[in-house]
Structure 1
């Protein structure tokens, strides 16, 4: 079944995919005063990675990455790599769901059983996926129209509490922490847009020639928000408080107090995370379901959405029970992400270019 979304909807999905849990938890394991440099470098490098993703799609119009892998590498190798991506999608989807549960349980529904929160979220995700990509695109566009203005209004309020010396001295610890932080930001969350080329083909966007524009604009807009919010939070909290807080942006916003009138507005962070987190979980499960459909040669993925979503729910509840366990998974996720987000796509692009040029010569 053909599913088409507009450029704006595609950009909105990319923005929400990047925000989600990276908007509340700290994506850099050991942040220092050069955090702003790490984020800027990460955005720049990810722009190049995104060009690789788009080039792969453009070379095979109308096919997503799963289909391209099988076409380029053959059934055996292509299916093996596709299985890796399917496992990657469901694993990360389970981690995002775990983050969603833990955050909600800590800052809001303290006495609510985690299983109840998880079941509620997964039911919404199943309903969204049953309606398909177009509905997810419309919901993403609607969410961004609400989230973006809220964030742009919140950042100046955070800046009223900043201590400029928190970003000094520059390069005090050398280049290594900057490079490490940049790599962590690339794998989580910027290069997570790899998930969308598992879902999208060039024909999934109403203006297929704009596929580069959609991905680059989405990356830059999402990157701008993360840069502003994390740097503002670091300026407000300082190195120790920022690195020791499980939810640094939430902690920074909770300190906003202007004239004892405007205060206790940290609930907006929870709202943003809920809206974007729902989309991110849905995107990962959609990518996983589409992969299973390709591997099993199914015409439609929708009838496998429910059982696979339930499996993801069970994995989430059984593998992560607290924030320390979540951080453990995120630490090792970075190594897996380098393979899935960078190494395999680059190898795939090289293989695609060789095969396409060989065909063109014929």
Structure 2
């Protein structure tokens, strides 16, 4: 079905852009509601979900080499229950893809093109992503390889430019109310760390599978480092004003002013959001299309890319009518749905798989 191959390094770049492209702008504001000045600690606790998810998908991939996630479901839970679980995952992936596209469109609509019909933004991004998905995994890997250094280094150049504006006193007092607020703040970012679950769809197509675990771990540490750094920068710039701010990192970049020459960095952030969101949308779109093809036992997933695109566009409007609903879902529904689908159900599958391997059938 997918004949292309990518390296473990490309997989890491794909996962980094998939996670950080949306998280860096929205997560600090939500996390600060609960963790306040300890918001920089929350990604550390949330990363534990990422490490656990990576361990689970690597063990499943080792137990069932070259098997798709949907085949793993059927092997562990049986044909009928496995098919039902696979259908639930197809619906989940399509729903998340629609939500990502809607979040991207609302951002562009809010800060850049307020007079543009939202349908134009959604459809144009979906069409562009569809062409990339049809190109296959190798195309996605090469696109990520191009965008990754642009995204990564641009973020840290902005952070360096903000250093003269930092107020370190906003960090204190550390854990004033104990560890609980930072743990509550970790509930939201764990959704993004849980997205390392997507590696299970990419792992069978790695040209160097022996390095998959290593680059998965490196990517988690890079995501964690970026999360903590971005949260600290936002805290040092905005202080207690972070909580409730829709895009705090974007607001922080407005403070860049070096000799009245280097300023107005927000267009760069918008460009980075577009690049990163394109990769994230494409990856979820690809995994959804590939998953449907594997679930239906098709020989090729490409014929369903365009019909799926129409469905995703509709889902972006049906399930999420406005930005307030999206933010409400991020705080109430998605933390539990994401943890269940991305970590707990795979953990259950791993448990069943381990039991089956230990309990051997008795020969008569």
Question: Structure 2-normalised TM-score?
Answer: 0.94
Give the distance between the partners of 1:172 and 1:104, measured in 2 at CA.
37
Tell me the residue number matched to 2:348: 347
Tell me the residue number matched to 1:131: 135
Tell me the residue number matched to 1:210: 211
Distance 1:157 1:83, change over 3 A: same
Give the distance between the partners of 1:253 and 1:300, measured in 2 at CA.
45
**1:149 matched to 2:153:** yes
Deviates more, 1:317-326 or 1:342-351: 317-326
**1:98 matched to 2:102:** yes
**1:293 matched to 2:293:** yes
Give the distance between the partners of 1:149 and 1:323, measured in 2 at CA.
29
Deviation of 1:87 after TM superposition, in Å, equals 1.3
Tell me, yes or no, if the aligned pair for 2:49 and 2:343 is still in contact at 8 Å.
no
Tell me, yes or no, if the aligned pair for 2:25 and 2:249 is still in contact at 8 Å.
yes
Give the distance between the partners of 2:15 and 2:37, measured in 1 at CA.
28
Tell me the residue number matched to 1:200: 202
Deviation of 1:359 after TM superposition, in Å, equals 5.6
Deviation of 1:166 after TM superposition, in Å, equals 1.4
What secondary structure does 1:25 align onto? helix
The gaps in structure 1 that reach 5 residues or longer are none
Q: What does 1:186-335 correspond to in 2, within 5 Å?
A: 186-187=190-191, 189-197=192-200, 199-201=201-203, 203-239=204-240, 241-331=241-331, 332-335=333-336
Distance 1:31 1:266, change over 3 A: farther
Give the distance between the partners of 1:300 and 1:192, measured in 2 at CA.
25
Give the distance between the partners of 2:61 and 2:252, measured in 1 at CA.
40
Tell me, yes or no, if the aligned pair for 2:76 and 2:82 is still in contact at 8 Å.
yes
**1:52 matched to 2:53:** no
**How many matched pairs?**
358
Question: Structure 1-normalised TM-score?
Answer: 0.94
Tell me, yes or no, if the aligned pair for 1:14 and 1:222 is still in contact at 8 Å.
no
Give the distance between the partners of 1:74 and 1:284, measured in 2 at CA.
26
Tell me, yes or no, if the aligned pair for 1:4 and 1:134 is still in contact at 8 Å.
yes
The gaps in structure 2 that reach 5 residues or longer are none
Superimposed CA distance per residue, residues 65-112 of structure 1 (whole angstroms, 9 cap, x where no aligned partner): 222111111111111111121111111111111110011111111211
Tell me, yes or no, if the aligned pair for 2:190 and 2:335 is still in contact at 8 Å.
no
Tell me, yes or no, if the aligned pair for 2:57 and 2:199 is still in contact at 8 Å.
no
What secondary structure does 1:87 align onto? helix
